[in-house]
Amino acid sequence: MADERKLIIAVEGTAAMGPFWDTIVADYLETIIRSFCGNELAGQKGSTSNVELSLVTFNTHGSYCACLVQRSGWTKDVDIFLQWLSTIPFAGGGFNDAAIAEGLSEALMMFSVANGSQNQQNIDGQRHCIVVAASNPHPLPTPVYRPQMQNMEQSENIEIQTESRLSDAETVAKSFAQCSISLSVICPKQLAKLRAIYNAGKRNPRAADPPVDNGKNPQFLILISENFMEARAALSRSGVTNLASNQNPVKMDMAPVTSVTGPSPTSIPSGCLSDDSSYLSYSFLHMHLDPSM
């Protein structure tokens, strides 16, 4: 539907992110997610009728992990989504560059499949991705899928096809702007290459970065897209109050998600693909093996 808003959180799943994750969720992601879904306070009804949330995790190339990229299904339930975030098993890697290009590509293709052919004006400002990484991107181009835009006129429909090309993270990030998807970055370190990815994904490369209240963690790199209004408001000093006063109540809707209970993800044999979401505590449905293994 044209009025359905979507948010994907793309997270580095290596051990490098582990020490920072609780702070990132508590100080940034939960606030943004609840603001985006219109229930800023914990304890409010978790489901929203016109918002969908999804999770992508990416790791490192090599033998540190069997799966390079994993993704969940879509959910409308905020509390279930936060539970997915709280059960990510950060492990492996930590000393290598992360497969950020592959993670961004997976998110990009999820948006494309979910929306199909739509008028660009109808989807502008409604699709958002936040990449959360603690490592630099893999420096070499790797084969990733990107949507191939056939018509970029705003007054006409966009026909989406896919193509596989050798691309690095910055090249993939440029496709976000072309597809009217906002791209934001959260990093627990001041990494110049992560800022470069954010700049590559901006609709207006010359636009000034929106101010963010980052007094709690001044060492963090928090770059929020100018088109992600809810996130900008949530992370400003008075933004949550102002946004909440303008929000209309939303109706409760049953979330079309599978159970989030199940064994630890470590129970999956290395290199095993599965479409059964019960294997993973945060309902991942698809996994991509590292082609270098």
pLDDT, block means (10 residues), the chain with 293 residues: 82 96 97 86 59 96 79 95 96 85 95 59 77 96 77 46 82 93 97 97 84 89 94 72 40 34 32 34 46 49
Exposed e or buried b per residue across 240-266, where buried means at least 16 C-beta atoms within 10 angstroms of its C-beta:
beebbeeeeebeeeebebbebebeebe
Query: Could you tell me the pTM of the whole model?
Result: 0.76
Residue 253 in contact with residue 48, Cβ under 8 Å? yes
In 10 A of CB 160, how many CB atoms? 19
**C-alpha to C-alpha distance for 160 and 147, rounded to whole angstroms:** 6
How far is CA 44 from each of CA 39, 82, 87, 214, 230, rounded to the nearest angstrom? Answer: 6, 13, 21, 26, 18
CA 21, chain centre distance (Å)? 15
CATH label, 5-289, candidates 3.30.70.1380, 2.60.34.30, 3.40.50.410, 1.10.3720.10: 3.40.50.410
Calculated CA dihedral for residues 15, 231, 144, 204, nearest 10 degrees:
-130
Q: Which amino acid is at 237?
A: R
- Provide the pLDDT for residue 207: 80
CA 211, chain centre distance (Å)? 21
**C-alpha to C-alpha distance for 270 and 252, rounded to whole angstroms:** 39
**C-alpha to C-alpha distance for 86 and 282, rounded to whole angstroms:** 9
Calculated CA dihedral for residues 283, 289, 290, 293, nearest 10 degrees:
130
- Provide the pLDDT for residue 275: 34
158 three-state secondary structure: coil
Q: Which amino acid is at 223?
A: L
Under 8 Å CB-to-CB from 131, ≥6 apart: which residues? 10, 11, 100, 103, 104, 107, 183, 184, 185, 186, 194, 197
Calculated CA dihedral for residues 4, 222, 239, 83, nearest 10 degrees:
60
- Provide the pLDDT for residue 75: 96
Strand partners, 52: 6
